[in-house]
Structure 1
Amino acid sequence: MSLDNNISKEIFNELSFSNEEIEIINAVFFRETFKKGTQLLKAGDNVDRQYYIIDGCLRSYHIDTQGREYTVQFGIKDWWMSDYTAFFSNSKAIMNIEVLQDATVYRILDEEKEYLYNQIPKIESFFRKKLERAFAAFQRRILSELSLTAKQRYLNFINSFPNIEKSVKNYHIASYLGITTESLSRIRKELSHK
Structure 2
Amino acid sequence: MQHHHSIIQEIFKGVSLSNDELDAIAPLFEKETYKKGAIIFKANDTVNDQYYIYEGCLRTYHIDDAGKEHTVQFGIKDWWITDFIGYFSNCKAIMTLEVIEDAIVYKISNKNKDYLYTNFPQIQNFIVKKLEGAYAAFQKRIILSLSQSAKARYLIFLDTHSDLEKKLKNYHIASYLGITTESLSRIRKELYNH
**2:16 matched residue in structure 1:** 16
SS in 1 for 2:158: helix
Paired with 1:2 and 1:112, the residues of 2 have a C-alpha distance of 21
After superposition, the C-alpha distances for 1:91-120 in whole angstroms (9 at most, x for unaligned) are 000010100100111110110111111221
- The one-letter code matched in structure 2 to 1:48 is N
- The 2-side partners of 1:5 and 1:112 are apart by 17
Q: Unaligned regions of 5+ residues in structure 1, if any?
A: none
| Aligned residue identity for 1:131 | L
Q: After superposition, where does 1:1-194 map in structure 2 within 5 Å?
A: 4-194=4-194
User: Share of identical aligned residues, percent?
Assistant: 57
- Flag the 1:78–1:164 CA change in 2: closer, same or farther, 3 A: same
The secondary structure found in structure 2 opposite 1:166 is: helix
Q: C-alpha separation between the residues in 2 aligned to 1:33 and 1:155?
A: 32
Conserved 8 A contact 1:3-1:31: no
- Counterpart Cα distance in 1 of 2:50 and 2:88: 11
Q: Cα gap change, 1:137/1:2 in structure 2, threshold over 3 Å: closer, same or farther?
A: farther
d(CA) in 1 for partners of 2:150, 2:35? 32
State the TM-score, normalized to the length of structure 2: 0.96
- Shift in CA distance, 3/85, structure 1 to aligned 2, threshold 3 Å: farther
| TM score, norm. by length of structure 1 | 0.96
The whole-number CA distance in structure 1 between the counterparts of 2:50 and 2:2 is 16
Q: Could you give the per-residue CA deviations for residues 43-94 of structure 1, whole angstroms, max 9, x where no partner exists? A: 0111110000011110100001111100000011111001111111110000
Deviation at 1:19, TM superposition (A): 0.9
CA offsets, 1:11-69, max 9 Å, x none?
11111101111011111011111000100111011111000001111010000111110
Alpha-carbon shift at residue 2 of structure 1 (Å): 9.7
Kindly state the Cα deviation for residue 163 of structure 1 after the two structures are TM-superposed: 1.8
* SS state at 1:8 partner: helix
Structure 2 unaligned spans of 5+: none
Closer, same or farther: CA 88–182 of 1 in aligned 2, 3 Å: same
Q: 2:188 corresponds to which letter in structure 1?
A: R
4+ residue stretches of structure 1 with deviation over 3 A? none
Residue type of the alignment partner of 1:9: Q
d(CA) in 2 for partners of 1:53 and 1:35?
A: 13
The answer (yes or no) to whether the contact 1:2–1:27 under 8 Å persists in 2 is: no
